[in-house]
Structure 1
Amino acid sequence: MPEGDTVWQVARRLHLALAGKVLTRSDLRVPKYATADLTGRTVLDVTPRGKHLLTRIEGGLTLHSHLRMDGAWKVYGNGQRWSGGPTHQIRAILGTADGTAVGYRLPVLELLRTTDENRAIGHLGPDLLGPDWDPDKALENLLRDPGRPLGEALLDQRNLAGIGNVYKSELCFLLGVTPWLPVGDLPADRAAQLSALAKKLLEINRDRPARVTTGRRDQKLFVYGRTPRPCLRCRTPIRVANQGDASRERPTYWCPTCQSGPTPSRGAISFRTSPRRTTN
Structure 2
Amino acid sequence: MPEGDTVLQTARRLDAALAGQLLTVSDLRVPRFATADLTGRTVLDVSARGKHLLTRIQGGLTLHSHLRMDGAWRVYDHGERWRGGPAHQIRAVLATAERTAVGYRLPVLELLRTEDEEQVVGHLGPDLLGPDWDPDTALRNLLSDPARRVGDALLDQRNLAGIGNVYMCELCFMARATPWLPVGELPLPVTTRLVGTAKQLLEANRDRPTRTTTAATPAMARSRTRERLFVYGRAGRPCLRCRTPIRLADRDDRPAYWCPHCQSGPTG
Match of 1:237 in 2: 245
Alpha-carbon separation, structure 1, partners of 2:225 and 2:128: 25
Q: Residues 172-191 of structure 1 correspond to what in structure 2 (within 5 A)?
A: 172-191=172-191
Alpha-carbon separation, structure 2, partners of 1:263 and 1:90: 39
Call closer, same or farther: CA 1:114–1:32 in 2, change over 3 Å. same
Which of 239, 249, 260 matches 2:264?
260
Match of 2:218 in 1: none
Match of 1:90 in 2: 90
Deviation string 1:211-235 (CA, Å, 9 cap, x unpaired) is 1111156101111111111111111
Which of 216, 228, 232 matches 1:220?
228
Equivalent position amino acid for 2:190 in 1:
R
Alpha-carbon distance, 1:12 to partner:
0.7
Alpha-carbon distance, 1:69 to partner:
2.1
Match of 1:22 in 2: 22
Aligned partner of residue 102 in structure 1, secondary structure: strand
Equivalent position amino acid for 2:230 in 1:
F
Aligned partner of residue 12 in structure 1, secondary structure: helix
Match of 2:221 in 1: none
Query: How many matched pairs?
Result: 260
Deviation string 1:68-96 (CA, Å, 9 cap, x unpaired) is 12321110001101111222221111111
Alpha-carbon separation, structure 2, partners of 1:18 and 1:99: 7
Deviation string 1:151-187 (CA, Å, 9 cap, x unpaired) is 1111111111110111001001111111111111111
Match of 2:50 in 1: 50
Equivalent position amino acid for 1:251 in 2:
P
Alpha-carbon separation, structure 1, partners of 2:89 and 2:171: 34
- Tell me which stretches of 4 or more aligned residues in structure 1 moved more than 4 Å: none
Alpha-carbon distance, 1:63 to partner:
0.1
Unaligned regions of 5+ residues in structure 1, if any? 265-280
Alpha-carbon separation, structure 2, partners of 1:132 and 1:26: 32
Alpha-carbon separation, structure 1, partners of 2:43 and 2:225: 39
Match of 1:251 in 2: 255
Alpha-carbon distance, 1:35 to partner:
1.6
Alpha-carbon separation, structure 2, partners of 1:235 and 1:202: 26
Alpha-carbon separation, structure 1, partners of 2:186 and 2:113: 41
2:52 matched to 1:59? no
Equivalent position amino acid for 2:234 in 1:
R
2:10 matched to 1:10? yes
Percent of counterpart pairs with the same letter?
A: 73
Aligned partner of residue 117 in structure 2, secondary structure: helix
Match of 1:273 in 2: none
Alpha-carbon separation, structure 1, partners of 2:70 and 2:198: 24
Q: What's the RMSD between the two structures over aligned residues? A: 1.2
Q: Residues 87-236 of structure 1 correspond to what in structure 2 (within 5 A)?
A: 87-215=87-215, 216=224, 218-236=226-244
Equivalent position amino acid for 1:188 in 2:
L
Alpha-carbon separation, structure 1, partners of 2:75 and 2:133: 29
Match of 1:269 in 2: none
2:31 matched to 1:31? yes
Alpha-carbon separation, structure 2, partners of 1:251 and 1:71: 18
Alpha-carbon separation, structure 1, partners of 2:69 and 2:242: 33
Equivalent position amino acid for 1:153 in 2:
A
Deviation string 1:110-129 (CA, Å, 9 cap, x unpaired) is 00000000111111111111
Alpha-carbon distance, 1:22 to partner:
1.1
